[in-house]
Amino acid sequence: MITYDETDEKDLELISDMWKKLIHHLQSQSTYFPMDYQCLFFEKRKEQFENIAESGNLRLDIVKDGENYLGYSVSSIVGEKGSVESLYVDKRCRKEGIGNKLMERALDWMKLNEVSDLEILVSYGNEDALKFYEKYEFYPKHLILKKKH
């Protein structure tokens, strides 16, 4: 049976393996900067999440089927800004509604906290994610260009 558990920064270690799979996926999708993903480490990202939690609110939703982890989302509220910081669904169970449920939970939490300034950062090359987020009325606002060395 699939379960959705809400928690916070104290359980971030539970998503370590899934986060690493997400980074591997983003690296494979990156058009110009795949090598940059080799420098990303979970411990550093975990520290960033913990810093967000100190200055605002952090929510972690974890999806499991028994003992198997299927996905997660990390959402934050800092000041009046809400953000889906990270969202991952195991590739074996995509298109089963898990990502939609995670988004709904994150957006409901932000609405409950009266946050209406919402954003999501999507890596260039991850067009499937753009299509997914458009269902929730998230659209590109800026495109940041970086010089390749």
Question: How confident is the model over 33-43, as pLDDT tens digits?
Answer: 888 888 889 99
Is residue 149 in some structural domain? no
Residue 149 has pLDDT above 90, yes or no: no
Contact predicate 120/84, CB 8 Å = yes
User: Alpha-carbon distance 65 to 77, whole Å?
Assistant: 28
Is residue 143 in some structural domain? no
> Which CATH number belongs to the domain containing residue 49 in this structure?
3.40.630.30
Confidence (pTM): 0.92
Residue 53 has pLDDT above 90, yes or no: yes
Is residue 147 in some structural domain? no
Range of the domain at 36: 2-134
Q: Give the percent of the chain with pLDDT over 90.
A: 87
Is residue 46 in some structural domain? yes
The residue among 95 and 90 whose pLDDT is bigger is 90
Task: Kindly report the average pLDDT of the chain as a whole number.
Answer: 95
